Amino acid sequence: MSNVNLVQVLTGASVLPIHRIKLFSPEEWEEFVEEWLTFKELDYIEVERLGGAGDKGRDVIGYVTCPKTNPDSYVWDNFQCKHYDHALRPSDVWTEFGKVCYYTYLGDFPVPRHYYFIAPYGVGTSLADLLRKPDILRQELKDNWDKYCKFKITKKMPNGIELTGAFLDYVDQFDFSIFLKVKPLTLIEEHSNTRYHISRFGGGLPERTYSDDMPEEVTNQELVYVTKLFAAYSDADGNTLTTLDCIASKKKYLNHFKRARKCFYKTEQLKHFSRDKLPAGVYESYQNEIASGVINVVEDDHEHGFQKVKEVEQEARKLAITSNPLTLCSDGDDRAGVCHHLANDPSDANEFIWIEYD
């Protein structure tokens, strides 16, 4: 009998990333490369995806210097995304070599610092050999110009682009050592360090580490929700309570305050975990789902503000959030902490207040 587990029955056999990338559409391939470049965010001031009609051979761009400040001489790298069902051959990319020569000759953009070919099957032997030998690459491009470049670079030249005169001189002086390749395994390994990898390939979230460390003193980023908590304590106590000294002898308030801060900081760590491991918007969706789940309790009548806080926290802890991936690595403390993050919004429109002011 074959060894089949429940996961395989429900979802099928897992597909390794090195095989999954071969199933991407050309658009998904460009998106994947753009995601991968977030791993290299320290190398570029901006990454831009241009792929499509009129991109002049520029699929994904990494700007080293600002093109607005230096429009004629900015430094940039080009990432040419080719999603074919085979390793790249010279015949697949002669036109791309021609484009970068032609459009930099016209001055449409500076010569890139590096020009990378990126393909799910990688670069084949013939093309790899040419990339290692820039002078031979130049000559091969010239030999193949009429077949692959003359009429294929642009439709705006009905008579084609002749490789003659000043343009030929330009190609003869062009630095063909800028053309390089990136191996598929390198792409996947580095992509695994980005926040997009899990949503792209699955495999589950890594273990979330949690630290109990938090500032002893209330920080500026906590002032809004802390002020609201003390207002709730004051409402319940019948006395004005504004500092820790005021509640030092009132254990039910002091203990609650300590728990609330612990939950606030635990949720802050969850927010950072989501930022590092998942695409943008996942934490916000998690927070919004909790807000929707407790808002009726927030708007209910309560004996006093402290009672409202506790009932809202309790409702948040009971919520069953099934669709958000953060459910896999969060608990009741995180959900209670979200309530205090919601209360920490200083805007006048914030509905998460614990006492009503006339």
Distance from the first to the final alpha carbon of the chain: 73
pLDDT of residue 12: 57
Domain ranges (residues) in the chain:
15-201, 220-343
pLDDT in tens, 89-148: 999 999 999 999 999 999 999 999 999 999 999 999 999 999 999 999 999 999 999 999
Looking at the predicted structure, is the pLDDT value of residue 1 above 60?
Answer: no
Q: Please state the pTM of the whole predicted model.
A: 0.75
Q: Give dist(CA 182, CA 159) in Å, integer.
A: 35
**Residue 357, Cβ neighbours under 10 Å: how many?**
5
Angle 10-12-13 (CA atoms, 0-180°, nearest 5)? 135
127 DSSP β-pair partners: none
pLDDT digits (tens, 9 = 90+) for 264-297: 999 999 999 999 889 989 999 999 999 999 999 9
Question: What is the DSSP code (8-state) at residue 115?
Answer: E
Angle at 163 between CA 159 and CA 164, to 5 degrees: 105
Q: Work out the angle between the directed axes of helices 332-343 and 282-299 (0-180°, nearest 10).
A: 80
- pLDDT beyond 70 at 344: yes
β-partners of residue 46 are: 63
Select the more confidently predicted residue: 214 or 77: 77
CA–CA separation, 32 and 188 (whole Å): 10
